[in-house]
Chain A
């Protein structure tokens, strides 16, 4: 446990001592800010139109702003995750520092979880920027915080799965670009797998759609805490970290 924190602290330090973290945070804040501004714009215009027509359909901040924004965030996250994980192991392999980690009295799993945890913390920092925007909704309206909290949990679980896969892919190469591109490909594929369900109802299509990380986020975005989706993401995290451990172990036999 102590070793995990030592590794995690070292990774966070290298994220925040270099421009990586600040670049990601800036880009994410800009993109999310833009989404938020648009969503709010639509909401306000719609509200005014309804008033002019004299209709009184109930408008809901949670349904009309927060939910689509959380869904957007989950997709935008796919683009940021490769940039967070690509250096985790590839850089250690390139610079030879992997020899230090592998010959220190720490277990592989402690190294792996430490690195993954650091990636999770950086991703959570990105999410903090969404919270700044949402804070305005609480100031000027009264959205329900409970479905939002579930939504955030979903975002973290989904990112956990993809970050674990990214960590695994980063152990496969010395080249950060390859690790990044590979992770991006996998993230994208896990997103679009769901499209098959639009035209095909056969069993295999259902399996593909089920594997998509996006389908499992829907319930969270709605504010529904679905155990089966939590289990899906938890298994994803476990699988990613398990592959990473196997890959680290294979280094001892191959390299």
Chain B
């Protein structure tokens, strides 16, 4: 549905996007992930024909963005970072205007306006001025305007930015609900969002594409070597850190144990397991068998987050702060 080939965008002083290539199949939801300023917006703007690439090209639904921009635009619904709203218009009036721009007319137009109003939960503000709407509603009207002409491809630039948690959930559900009929690219710098909504991930950093994979594969990659966090306490006083350390290290499959912190009653340990070994059960048995209490046992690898940080070269999870008690 979308094919991007060697797209580069150069500005006077910087390269915003550096030879990016990827393709997206029909009906997929793809998460476009990267730190701020990585080139996500630029790439999306190129796909929507708002910007022209300095070199390379792309095609949407079989139409080249440089040769047939009008055909591409007909098939794309775009929600920019700030929803492009005319604040002096009312919701329905605005949607009608956008619908007309996208080529709808007459009864069909009214039908679509009603449909997107219901679908994006903005029916209750139909006759309100856009300027008087809250941020969440504006975002939803922005989404409604993007889907009004039932486009094949939806391009959403940070669709949940600036929303409150409840609105974020609603918007995510809305996007998931749209996935069947539309191919969706959504950009974000929020990781759980990708895990929750997307099937495929593109990670971009400093204008370069650093990873493309399915969410499941990336998560599996992250889980290869599991890292666990344990809190161990004793019924009376504190357990002896050295003793616990030895007990944990004795568990088969454990490669590395660190005592990272001590709390009022317990000690915190971080355990690295060998690749492909499930050690959680054995760890728990070892602790309880030695007469200590196991207060907490959870995986610390934040799946995508670690991969993301690794790939985008930001600072690794704060190793430096860890202290051996």
Confirm or deny: A96 has a beta carbon within 8 angstroms of a beta carbon on chain B: yes
How many residues in B have their beta carbons less than 8 Å from beta carbons of A? 29
- Which of B19-27, B96-104, B280-288 faces chain A? B96-104
Confirm or deny: B294 has a beta carbon within 8 angstroms of a beta carbon on chain A: no
Confirm or deny: B43 has a beta carbon within 8 angstroms of a beta carbon on chain A: no
* Closest Cβ–Cβ distance, residue A75 to chain B (whole Å): 32
Task: Across the interface, name the chain A residue whose C-beta is closest to B45.
Answer: A99
- Which of B84-92, B192-200, B219-227, B230-238 faces chain A? B84-92
Instruction: Please tell me if the beta carbons of B102 and A96 are within 8 angstroms of each other in the complex.
Output: no
- Tell me the complex Cα distance, A101–B145, Å: 12
- Tell me the complex Cα distance, A3–B104, Å: 11
Confirm or deny: B80 has a beta carbon within 8 angstroms of a beta carbon on chain A: yes
Instruction: Please tell me if the beta carbons of A3 and B82 are within 8 angstroms of each other in the complex.
Output: no
Instruction: Please tell me if the beta carbons of A17 and B88 are within 8 angstroms of each other in the complex.
Output: yes
For A106, list chain B residues within 8 Å (CB): 101
Confirm or deny: A142 has a beta carbon within 8 angstroms of a beta carbon on chain B: no
* Closest Cβ–Cβ distance, residue B141 to chain A (whole Å): 12
- Tell me the complex Cα distance, A18–B97, Å: 18
Instruction: Please tell me if the beta carbons of B101 and A14 are within 8 angstroms of each other in the complex.
Output: no
Instruction: Please tell me if the beta carbons of B52 and A3 are within 8 angstroms of each other in the complex.
Output: no
* Closest Cβ–Cβ distance, residue B86 to chain A (whole Å): 6
Given A252-B50, A253-B52: A105 and B84 within 8 A (CB)?
Answer: no
Confirm or deny: B48 has a beta carbon within 8 angstroms of a beta carbon on chain A: yes
For A102, list chain B residues within 8 Å (CB): 49-50
Instruction: Please tell me if the beta carbons of B88 and A99 are within 8 angstroms of each other in the complex.
Output: no
Confirm or deny: A201 has a beta carbon within 8 angstroms of a beta carbon on chain B: no
- Tell me the complex Cα distance, A144–B83, Å: 55
Instruction: Please tell me if the beta carbons of B145 and A100 are within 8 angstroms of each other in the complex.
Output: yes
Confirm or deny: B172 has a beta carbon within 8 angstroms of a beta carbon on chain A: no
Task: Across the interface, name the chain A residue whose C-beta is closest to B9.
Answer: A253
- Tell me the complex Cα distance, A105–B100, Å: 10
- Tell me the complex Cα distance, A105–B74, Å: 5
B93-122 contacts to A (CB < 8 Å): 97-98, 100-103
Option from B48, B70, B73, B88 in Cβ contact (under 8 Å) with A14: B88
For A104, list chain B residues within 8 Å (CB): 73, 98, 101-102
Extra inter-chain contacts (14) besides given A17-B88, A95-B87, A99-B48, CB under 8 Å: A3-B101, A95-B86, A96-B83, A97-B84, A97-B85, A99-B45, A100-B78, A100-B101, A100-B145, A102-B50, A103-B78, A107-B70, A253-B52, A255-B51
7 contacts between A and B (CB under 8 A): A6-B101, A96-B84, A97-B85, A99-B84, A100-B101, A103-B78, A253-B52
A residues contacting B by CB (< 8 A) are 3, 6, 10, 13-14, 17-18, 95-107, 252-253, 255
